[in-house]
Amino acid sequence: MADRYWVGGTGSWTTISTTNWSLFSGGASGASVPTATDSVFFDQAGTYTVTATGALACLDFTVSLGVVTFSEISSTITISGSLLLASGTVSSWTANLGIIFNATTSKTITTNNVAIGATTFNGVGGSWTLGSAFSVNNGAIDLTNGTFSTSASNFSVTCALFRSSNSNTRTINLNASTFTITGSQWNFFTSTNLTVSGSGATVTMTSSSTKTFSGGSANWGAITLNQGGAGRLTITGSNTFANISNSYNATGATSLRFTSGTTQTVSNFTAAGTSGKILTIDSSTPATAATLSQASGTVSVDYMSLQDSTATGGATWYAGANSTNVSGNTGWVFTAPPSGSSNFFLLM
């Protein structure tokens, strides 16, 4: 185990070049290329570019000084330790420069508002906790093995895709953070050996194109699933949510589609349209309903177009006076709730 310091300004980090590596901060170049047991430090003043080439590796990765651009040529960096990008030290990180975290113990990730490349967590027994908001530059976060936690500080996460569709032992601790999914998938299609923890989190899916929340029939009771974009949001599997909401109703019409024959169990349901901005709810197979279930209370929504939806569970489901009963609906009451009804959630 040793330390490697980047020297000489702009240069290429490859699997063989020793031109920009030193044994000491500001020292002479010529040190061997970092391996998975060597921590790397970028601590020189000035503005420069590091171009990564090949399958690179290190232990801890720290940028503490200067203004650095990280570029790439067909490269990934496997980090076996922690990642720290001090505030203001990284100008940009090319989207195609991906990172694989493979630690088998507890590590931290602090990026300080720098969007990094596609990220994979794949360390058996590993645990990664955020030290700042975390953003992936137009790419995916893959949780293959280990634990990903936003920390008790509830740091936000932004990425195009979040995936963990395997049967390895893995945990996602959502805490009360906001996950913004800008692309097409939240894909936890397989929930075998998956643990979900946290409370008060929101997963908002903002794409203007069609998108899918594949929950793997897991208990997502820690989160509010929010339709935040114009593109239809399809929910697959029978899942449990704290709430299903629709913030896009402030902007325009949109839709929710549920896989036929599935049941979404909610503590609250506040997904609604607004005047001129209808929310359409239907199932994936015409004339075959999907079910929404809330145990008690009164659900009050409005400006809906409903088809093939069963509302049940003990709550009274009011679709509102401005909603349309297309066909195949059961359990919905197409009026506003009586005056004085309690325990209802109204979005207008």
pLDDT in tens, 327-347: 999 999 999 999 866 544 444
User: What mean pLDDT do residues 139-146 have?
Assistant: 97
pLDDT, position 341: 63
Is the confidence at residue 217, as pLDDT, over 50? Answer: yes
Of 228, 178, 175, which is closest to residue 202 (Cα–Cα)?
178
How many CB atoms neighbour CB 52 within 10 A? 22
pLDDT, position 79: 98
Of 291, 230, 241, which is closest to residue 270 (Cα–Cα)?
241
Is the confidence at residue 54, as pLDDT, over 80? Answer: yes
pLDDT, position 1: 80
Is the confidence at residue 10, as pLDDT, over 70? Answer: yes
pLDDT, position 191: 87
Question: Long-range contact list for 168-171, CB < 8 A, 24+ apart?
Answer: 168/124, 168/144, 168/193, 169/124, 169/145, 169/193, 170/143, 170/144, 170/145, 170/146, 170/194, 170/195, 171/146, 171/147, 171/195, 171/196, 171/197
User: What mean pLDDT do residues 20-39 have?
Assistant: 98
User: What mean pLDDT do residues 57-70 have?
Assistant: 98
User: What mean pLDDT do residues 163-173 have?
Assistant: 96
User: What mean pLDDT do residues 53-82 have?
Assistant: 97
* Amino acid code (one letter) for 241: F
User: What mean pLDDT do residues 86-93 have?
Assistant: 97
User: What mean pLDDT do residues 293-299 have?
Assistant: 98
pLDDT, position 340: 66
How far apart CA 78 and CA 294 sit, in angstroms, is 45
8 A C-beta contact, residue 41 and residue 25 = yes
- Tokens matching residue 214: 């594949």
How far apart CA 185 and CA 76 sit, in angstroms, is 23
- Residue 271's Cβ-side half-sphere holds a number of Cα atoms within 13 Å equal to 29
How far apart CA 323 and CA 325 sit, in angstroms, is 7
Rounded to the nearest integer, the mean pLDDT of the chain is 96
How far apart CA 52 and CA 308 sit, in angstroms, is 53
Is the confidence at residue 123, as pLDDT, over 60? Answer: yes
How far apart CA 346 and CA 348 sit, in angstroms, is 6
pLDDT, position 189: 86
- According to DSSP, the residues that pair with 99 across neighbouring strands are 77, 119
Element (H, E) at 130: strand 119-130
- Tokens matching residue 42: 């970028």
pLDDT, position 74: 87
pLDDT, position 190: 87
How far apart CA 223 and CA 205 sit, in angstroms, is 13
Is the confidence at residue 252, as pLDDT, over 70? Answer: yes
Mean pLDDT is lowest, of 199-213, 290-304, 333-347, for 333-347
Is the confidence at residue 163, as pLDDT, over 60? Answer: yes
8 A C-beta contact, residue 29 and residue 18 = yes
Is the confidence at residue 173, as pLDDT, over 60? Answer: yes
Q: How confident is the model at residue 128 (pLDDT cuts 50, 70, 90)?
A: very high
How far apart CA 228 and CA 226 sit, in angstroms, is 6
Is the confidence at residue 278, as pLDDT, over 80? Answer: yes
Is the confidence at residue 348, as pLDDT, over 60? Answer: no
Q: Cβ contacts of residue 316 below 8 Å, gap of 6+?
A: 297, 298, 299, 333, 337, 341
pTM (whole model) above 0.85: yes
Listed in sequence order, the DSSP H helices in 12-165 are: none
pLDDT, position 344: 44
